[in-house]
Amino acid sequence: TEIVFVSPDGTRYTVDAANGASAMEAAVRNDVPGIDADCGGACACATCHVYVDDAFAGALPEPEAMEEDMLDFAFDVRPNSRLSCQIRVNDAISGLVLHVPERQG
């Protein structure tokens, strides 16, 4: 399943993500810059913060309470902010575009 990460400078990284894995894992495996993922996906660091592209608003399930709480620790949180380790890859979100923030934490 294809996921596209966009850097603040506009560079696009199109990665092939395994279904069932998280978007964060796909980013780390493909060396997408700016996804630090310090906690390794435990929803405990907020350094895998991304902005979901407007075209995909509503395409993802609502964040769970744990993700909402941890997002409070992310830098420059916006309404479309998500933690990429909590985004489960599946065919339904193929082509998903995620914007990497200027900085993490």
Contacts with ligand FES by CB under 6 A lie at 24, 37-39, 41-48, 70, 83, 85
- Nearest approach, Cβ of 84 to ligand FES (angstroms)? 6
Residue recorded with tokens 């294809």: 2
- Residue closer to ligand FES by CB (options 32, 37) is 37
Round to whole Å and give the CA distance between 57 and 3.
15
**Minimal CB distance residue for ligand FES:** 85
- Nearest approach, Cβ of 58 to ligand FES (angstroms)? 21
**Length of the chain measured in residues:** 105
- Residue closer to ligand FES by CB (options 6, 74) is 74
- Nearest approach, Cβ of 22 to ligand FES (angstroms)? 8
Sign of CA dihedral 54, 58, 61, 65: positive
Asked if residues 5 and 17 have their Cβ atoms less than 8 Å apart, the reply is: no
- Nearest approach, Cβ of 35 to ligand FES (angstroms)? 8
- Residue closer to ligand FES by CB (options 10, 31) is 31
CA dihedral in degrees (67, 73, 78, 79; nearest 10)?
Answer: 30
